[in-house]
Structure 1
């Protein structure tokens, strides 16, 4: 269920309006291109995960295939990314709940949301999975219902509504009314609207049958992208004029309002709340497993390796929760400086993660084809050409973001954060070397 709907966050419902307003009907192409890109990334991850299932997933693969510095860097960057995401999702949930319970402040509600879902992660992975299962079920049913309703509206099956046909697609400046450059700008936004598509490969490490779990996740990615993302966006741009204010603010609510559905806004807010709580729940799980994996490799304190009788890494969960609370506190004391800096610094980390995934995959595949070809249960298509194409595409997007005013600050902040992590790696490596030398000298003294 994590693979099917567990990582559909509030971004699909809240961020789609911005993409549609920017690219017009071309938003369909943006979601389709990025979706195809994500399918390739998932295929690469699936190939590696079926060979070496691990809770550290791509961090572990980068450690072995590129070098310890790569595993350390990508692990801590990904951890930082999800800690900020957990905070953002908790605040999105708090804003919705605050409308219903105005007596509670947004900060307190955010704190309670994180604390509540931390408890589900502490007790056991099974309890986390139970929560995520039902969150996913609600989202899947809601999105499929929306697709059915939207399709019937397009074909004019509602007597009181006139079908727009293709007028909103072609008669308002064409498929790309703002020019080809708008497609690139939309892609730079959409690539961060597929949150955590890689998470099932992290969870596979705790599955009774990792290879089967990974295969199921890979197979679901293609139709999940087609149905949930591309299907939803296609219906939205067909039913709504891309340049209308309603398309920018809340396109899903606007479509429901067209049918005069009572309490359309309330229904949508409940769905968005479920989506963000699901993403929050998944984020706590993901950060704790990544911190546990870093501790396994000696890149984080060993205390984070301690687990409960039910297998939950309790100190890793609590550690990540504390970091999330600190980030949440920054949004209160310095929302326009420190908190904004943290958001910008984490904005492009997902893109760096996918780049490391692709490079690790190429190196592992070449090595295994020589050492153990039978270990390759899942294989990336058209290797190595398609893998190199994905790497080139990601590098091109990073370069393009440096020249776009709307993304330049985020890219520079992320690169600065990456540099800080690399410096910290050099420091920890020096401390480890110094500690090892001390242990050797102590051993010699005892021998004498």
Structure 2
């Protein structure tokens, strides 16, 4: 795709990664840091974690540790590729450079499709929460929420960063309260509490239903962590991209341990296994144990904040992915158009419109249609991460020994850890195919990949014929 020569002087070149023309409008390091720490924390943590703990018992700790190791390896590989080729800025381009145009096309469109589905789902959830509070139709609330966050993302990268910084701060603060409160609770240092120690954790069965729920918990964990890589995408629009990438990949490890694994351990320390709630968030039950008034209402507010945060960051991820697809000639050229602050505003609007369309299908069409959208994107995370593993293996093989030695971020034990991670992702997909609860999601995601590959084949054939004619 050729660069536009008719753009105004104040506009950035169309083929480059979208960076603000003014340093004042770029993402600050604190924005990227908090996005790395809390960017993917959503309802899956505040509500879904209880289901994993109930089915796997204390084995849920192992589920989140294994899933965390997989995602940490993926982040490490992303960090290596980002520092090896800082001019690219996106795993769409890493896949294209390393594996070929077909891979860049496939991973880009699959990623975009996944997060459009996420936007739609989270907008529906947010609309239902707010609509229930205010007593107005939830579809109106969903639409207003979408308009607000599309506007935030359209204005500038900095406005996205500031809004996400606030939202992520609330999520991170909630988890810190849980972890710190759990420590004080078990030591008997809270008002009215007595020393509990690790008795609740010790009495929780490690494999309450055998090892299978632990394996299925790994699937849940990996899917819950998906979105961590958005911080690497955002690093390209920060004040210091190189430093931001290095810091982001290093933050991934302790964020996973503290927030997800730490939450599981904290809940098992505070709540007897037999008293884990089945119809509400375990966070609310834990906060009630701490003596915090209005625990359920507080967790509801935090849940809304988490959902809004995912809407915000998903719009950002969608728009930047669509921008790279367009820059590579795999989406309409007009999508690369940016405003004077460097934002690909048409990509933002198209991504937001996709989310609105998905939400509208939920409200006004058949429930099966919306379920199909969600199910067909269910295992896309595993496919995208597998592409990242293969891209890193291929890119590292092309680097000289001196180039590898100069990398500030390197994947360990090359190529074994990367290959092991890829195999683990394939195994996770197999687990989804075998288990009845996730079989449809895995199968439809593979169908979606096949459709994208067919679309690339048709597009490539049309372009070849056009060149030869």
User: What band does the TM-score fall into relative to the shorter chain?
Assistant: over 0.9
1:120 aligns with 2:156: no
Aligned residues of 1:73 and 1:421 also touching (Cα < 8 A): yes
Q: 1:376-406 CA distances to partner (integer Å, 9 max, x unpaired)?
A: 3311111111111111111122222221111
Aligned residues of 2:106 and 2:453 also touching (Cα < 8 A): yes
Farther off after superposition, 26-35 or 355-364: 26-35
Q: CA deviation at 1:187?
A: 1.1
Q: For the structure 1 residues 101 and 55, does the alpha-carbon distance in structure 2 shift closer, same or farther, using more than 3 Å as the test?
A: farther
Q: CA deviation at 1:290?
A: 0.2
Q: 1:147-174 CA distances to partner (integer Å, 9 max, x unpaired)?
A: 11111112222353345444433435x2
1:337 aligns with 2:371: no
Instruction: Find the counterpart in structure 2 of residue 235 from structure 1.
Output: 266
Instruction: Find the counterpart in structure 2 of residue 26 from structure 1.
Output: 59
Cα distance in 1 for partners of 2:88, 2:434 equals 36
Higher helix share: 1
Q: 1:211-236 CA distances to partner (integer Å, 9 max, x unpaired)?
A: 10101101211111111111111011
Q: 1:67-88 CA distances to partner (integer Å, 9 max, x unpaired)?
A: 1011101100000000010111
The alignment partner of 1:191 has SS state of helix
Aligned residues of 1:65 and 1:363 also touching (Cα < 8 A): yes
Instruction: Find the counterpart in structure 1 of residue 22 from structure 2.
Output: none
Q: 1:226-252 CA distances to partner (integer Å, 9 max, x unpaired)?
A: 111111110112222334451563100
The alignment partner of 2:227 has SS state of coil
Aligned residues of 1:91 and 1:110 also touching (Cα < 8 A): yes
Q: CA deviation at 1:38?
A: 1.2
Aligned residues of 1:48 and 1:364 also touching (Cα < 8 A): yes
Instruction: Find the counterpart in structure 2 of residue 410 from structure 1.
Output: 441
Cα distance in 1 for partners of 2:273, 2:92 equals 40
1:151 pairs with one of 173, 177, 183: 183
Aligned residues of 2:122 and 2:307 also touching (Cα < 8 A): yes
Cα distance in 1 for partners of 2:366, 2:85 equals 41
Instruction: Find the counterpart in structure 1 of residue 31 from structure 2.
Output: none
Q: For the structure 1 residues 85 and 351, does the alpha-carbon distance in structure 2 shift closer, same or farther, using more than 3 Å as the test?
A: same
Instruction: Find the counterpart in structure 1 of residue 69 from structure 2.
Output: 36
Instruction: Find the counterpart in structure 1 of residue 110 from structure 2.
Output: 77
Describe how 1:17-416 pairs up with structure 2 within 5 A.
17-53=50-86, 57-102=90-135, 104-172=136-204, 174-244=205-275, 246=277, 249-369=280-400, 372-373=403-404, 376-416=407-447
Q: For the structure 1 residues 129 and 249, does the alpha-carbon distance in structure 2 shift closer, same or farther, using more than 3 Å as the test?
A: same
Q: CA deviation at 1:370?
A: 5.8
Q: CA deviation at 1:54?
A: 5.8
TM-score of the pair, normalised by structure 2: 0.89
Q: For the structure 1 residues 248 and 43, does the alpha-carbon distance in structure 2 shift closer, same or farther, using more than 3 Å as the test?
A: farther
Cα distance in 2 for partners of 1:250, 1:68 equals 44
TM-score of the pair, normalised by structure 1: 0.93
Farther off after superposition, 91-100 or 109-118: 91-100
Instruction: Find the counterpart in structure 2 of residue 431 from structure 1.
Output: 462
Q: For the structure 1 residues 371 and 422, does the alpha-carbon distance in structure 2 shift closer, same or farther, using more than 3 Å as the test?
A: farther
2:47 pairs with one of 14, 17, 20: 14
Farther off after superposition, 41-50 or 9-18: 9-18
Q: CA deviation at 1:56?
A: 5.7
Cα distance in 2 for partners of 1:138, 1:254 equals 19
**Matched pairs, number:** 436
Q: CA deviation at 1:18?
A: 1.1
Q: For the structure 1 residues 224 and 245, does the alpha-carbon distance in structure 2 shift closer, same or farther, using more than 3 Å as the test?
A: closer
Farther off after superposition, 319-328 or 339-348: 319-328
**Structure 2 alignment gaps of length 5 or more:** 1-33
Cα distance in 2 for partners of 1:213, 1:27 equals 32
Cα distance in 2 for partners of 1:334, 1:184 equals 35
Cα distance in 1 for partners of 2:264, 2:209 equals 18
Q: For the structure 1 residues 7 and 99, does the alpha-carbon distance in structure 2 shift closer, same or farther, using more than 3 Å as the test?
A: same
Q: For the structure 1 residues 124 and 238, does the alpha-carbon distance in structure 2 shift closer, same or farther, using more than 3 Å as the test?
A: same
